[in-house]
Amino acid sequence: MYVGNNFNFVNCTKLDVMKIFLKVFIVLFLSQFSFANGVVIVDEEEGVYLTLTGTQIDVNVQNQIGTIITSQVFINDLGLGSQVIKYGFPVPNGASVTQLRWKINNGDWEIAIFEVGGDPGGGGNNNMHPNLVNYLGSSPLFFLFNDEIEENSVIEVELTYVELLSYSFNNVTFEYPSDYSLIQSGIIVNSQNFDFNLFSDRTIDNIELLNNVGTISNDGNVATVTINVNESTSINDILIIYELASDELGVIPFSTFLEEGVNECDNFGNGFFGLVVEPESNANTEVIDKNFILVVDKSGSMTGNKIEQAKDAAYFIVNNLNFGDYFNIVDFSSDVDSFSPSLVEYTVENRNNALTYVNNISAGGGTNISESLVVSINQFDAISEDSANIIVFFTDGQATSGQTNTSAILDIVQSTILANETEIFLFTFGIGENVTTDLLTLLAVQNNGFVTFLGDDEITDVISNFYLTIRNPVLLNPIITVEPIGAINNVYPDPLPNLYKGQQLIFTGRYTVPQDISLTLTGTAFNQNVEYSYDFNLSDQNNEGYAFLPKLWAKNKLESLLIDYYSFPEGSPEAEEILAIIEETSICYQVLSPFTSLGDGGTLGIEEFMENESNALKFFPNPFSDETKAFVNLKEANEILVNIYSIGGKLVKTIRIDGVVGNNIITWNGNDGSGVNLKSGIYIYTISIGDKKTYFGKLIKN
């Protein structure tokens, strides 16, 4: 639903006491999307690949939440006989892979099972051909197929993922670099099809397709983009930008209620709820002033391209501060320097002087993290508390000067904040592989910010884009409450991030009882407590259009758990306990995490199992304590093979039955192959009937 102008921030006055509580995310804000067709690799060093013969890309967007199914068809026409093959795909930052499946010569679909550990499906090779490295980008997914592909055989590979489209100031961007020329310069003999379907409760003012020729339609709430090319070289990179009405606030609820037995991952209820909030971002939207300090690492390790990128990011931020803000630039190596002894008002003169200061920054020396933060925090006590106190801090190394112990640095920061009787909003950025992960994470966690880890070449783009997201606060310390109490549980993110002009808030949760609810969003802005209430219905139906919601909820939960994980020393009991939950959530919801991968595939006809076979091959009871059974009806005698795996992907039990015509009963008592009673938890099972079909599902042992 679209909710009109009754939710705006225009009629508020100055902020009195600012409180900022923002959940930490390990994500890149406004990350650059790098979608592309996958590659079936034969020799990654020499750059030998199967020939791509056709593509089909289906994109369905529900209010900026996209589900992308990308399918490519390849043929082994190398003339070199059967080949061992690996699939590579340039997964973008922020996207969640939910399924990889394939079929050979139009046979049955085979689906990759998620498992714990390892490089996704075999990993890459450091000696990959330069074209392949460039094409796949910085975070590719790899999957190694078990079986060789015979000469002249055709393989179709389909990858599905869920992602939040890049949203900024009413403009939403979808990017799919489909230029395949680095991998294959010749003709793609069959069609290249692209279908983009957008459904928006907020009015779509305009939609554009750049770089390619296609068909576009837009009726204000539903828009489509279609590209169809036959017998051609690869199409250009796809770029779609659509603009939403700037005078409309988006308050968009989603809910779906899965059928009993479909979701066996937890006991939080069969309902999944999502809410997107998009504040107005027109010229009349008033924003909160801020006290802003940019802290720049200029130690010796930043020499060269990194310090130049850091200066570029500083130029951008200084040029885009708001008149009415106060600001400073603190730069540190072994010692700490600053543009000004204290915060200064943002004026044309101060801006120009700051740009000159940035231009003269040079790298050299050690890394005095503790003193740079003390110098920064001490500047906030001299300025009115009517503004938001924001620090953006980035470093590429570990502390080598001043205080170097992580716990001691954290204590120094907290004692400085208490001494100044202030509160800060601290964003930390770690550059490269040599940063102290737990220090940067805890600095952010303990000070109402978030941490981002980025590569050596991402400084300018990431930090500049990030600044735009926090440039204009409109609602601080937001809290969502729901009536009846407890109607929604397991909400993420928790606490909620602040609302900023031109940005969006994504809220997800679970429910057990479909019902009408009243949702209230409260916060502070301009010396006033503000409150907005809405009535929603928690659906009692499985809404197929919202199939992304379980994945989105699980993705949000994983991001929250990752923050908790990195808050403890690696290998500690607390970290290991959280890691187990991460792995269990990732595998059960089939959403990749840094600790899981795509393991060996099997002929897992999950669509047929869920839709056509009904309950025929499901176990009952489920969850179970002592014993569970499945019933298989065969039209002809055949072997029935049951494999049961732990949540980590380890085979724990195999059951073989000489199936007879008619009903066959599979019984499992919860023991492993050695007769040892397995612990409570989630297990994955496969049921294979001869060489015809394999079904899969999940079991919960209490």
Number of Cβ atoms within 10 Å of the Cβ of 505? 20
Would you state the pLDDT for residue 219? 95
Distance of CA 69 to the CA centre of its chain: 17
Please tell me the predicted confidence (pLDDT) of residue 311: 87
Can you state the angle between helices 437-445 and 406-420, rounded to 10 degrees?
20
At 87 the pLDDT is 92
Give the model's pLDDT for residue 230: 93
CA atoms within 13 A on the CB side of 650: 9
Cβ-contact 88, 219 below 8 angstroms: no
d(CA 69, CA 58): 5
**Residue 126, pLDDT score:** 61
pLDDT score for 613: 35
CA 107, chain centre distance (Å): 33
Q: What digits encode the pLDDT tens for the residues 376-416?
A: 999 987 665 567 788 989 888 889 999 999 889 999 999 99
How many residues does this entry show for the chain?
A: 702
Q: How far apart are CA 234 and CA 311, in angstroms?
A: 38
Average pLDDT per block of 10 residues along the chain, 702 residues long: 31 27 24 59 94 94 87 95 92 75 90 60 65 80 87 94 79 85 91 93 93 94 95 90 83 88 84 84 62 92 87 86 90 95 94 94 94 94 69 89 91 92 85 81 81 72 64 70 94 78 81 94 67 89 81 87 78 85 82 68 33 51 82 83 74 88 86 86 79 71 78
From CA 126, how far away is CA 45, in angstroms rounded? 9
Task: Determine the pLDDT at residue 609.
Answer: 31
pLDDT score of 610:
33
Domains belonging to the chain, first-starting first, are: 39-244 (2.60.40.3680), 290-471 (3.40.50.410), 603-701 (2.60.40.4070)
- The string of pLDDT tens digits covering residues 654-684 is 898 998 887 788 899 999 888 888 887 777 7
Can you give the pLDDT at residue 84?
93
Q: Cβ distance 404 to 1 under 8 Å?
A: no
Q: Token digits for 575? A: 């970290």
Rounded to the nearest 10 degrees, what angle do helices 549-566 and 573-589 cross at?
A: 170
| DSSP label of 152 | T
Look up residue 467 and give its two tokens: 């600044």
Q: Output the pLDDT for position 561.
A: 87
How far is C-alpha 528 from the geometric centre of its chain's CA atoms? 34
Q: Are 510 and 486 in contact (CB under 8 A)?
A: no
| pLDDT value at residue 446 | 83
Task: In whole angstroms, give the CA distance from residue 105 to residue 103.
Answer: 7
Q: Sort 489 into a burial class: Cβ within 10 Å, 0-12 / 13-18 / 19+.
A: middle
Q: CA-to-CA distance for 407 and 410, rounded, in angstroms?
A: 5
